Amino acid sequence: MVAVMTFHAATLAEIAAGLNRDHSRTYGQRGKLPQAFFITDQQAVARPQTVIATLPMGCAVIFRDYDHPAREKLGAALSLSCAKRGVPFLVAGDEPLATALQADGIHLPEAQMDQVVKIRAAHPRWIITLSCHDPDAVCRAADLPVDAGLIAPVFPTLSHPETGTGAAATLGLAGVTAMVRQTTLPLFALGGIGPENIHQLIGLGLAGIAAIRGFAEIQDDVRTPPAR
């Protein structure tokens, strides 16, 4: 079981680190960025603390869980878990909550792009990331004081079942490449990324990856005995 976990962890974390390192050498970075983001979603990953406890170094956490009935309490617990491990902790879409939890930064949905300048002025040291779903959003983000863009969905993802049926398009490798080529803003791939497909992102110019279930799958490998 340990061998399986080690292989998957090394594949996901080490390839993400390689993407981050290559991007930094080619483009430079606006400050030191993580190589990967674990995004919380308790409907998809019921035990985020367990993932954080074994999250590879060089990663960060984005606390999403917008609709959680005790979001502030859960955020405080996850913030503490991150602080104990020295993992940067970002809050999604809520500047007051990020401030209250003494977060290291904020992740903004594309619809909140107009808040970036105000938030940067109030929190000059924060890591600020922004969701981007098309080339136009990437171009607009590049003109803002953000540290990185999270582009999605790259592959079909369970978070958006319509991408698996073909009812909604994914960016695909061609879409990712097109976005990367039009900006020097560090871009992180999000959507359906796991140990089984992350190698397809090598050489595209990304700064790293973001995942919900990708890191949680490592935990599943630890708990599930291998087939005999």
Looking at residue 226, its pLDDT comes to 40
Give the DSSP letter of residue 111: G
In a 3-state reduction of DSSP, which class is residue 110?
helix
Does residue 80 come out as left (phi exceeding 0), alpha (psi in the -120 to 50 range) or beta? alpha
Using pLDDT thresholds of 50, 70 and 90, give the confidence band for residue 166. low
Cβ atoms of 63 and 92 closer than 8 Å: yes
Which domains are delineated in the chain? Answer: 2-223 (3.20.20.70)
pLDDT (tens digit per residue) in 80-124: 999 999 999 999 999 999 999 999 999 999 999 999 999 999 999
Does residue 208 come out as left (phi exceeding 0), alpha (psi in the -120 to 50 range) or beta? left
Helix 213-223 and helix 2-27, axial crossing angle in degrees, nearest 10 = 160
In a 3-state reduction of DSSP, which class is residue 131?
strand
pLDDT (tens digit per residue) in 206-227: 999 999 999 876 544 434 344 4
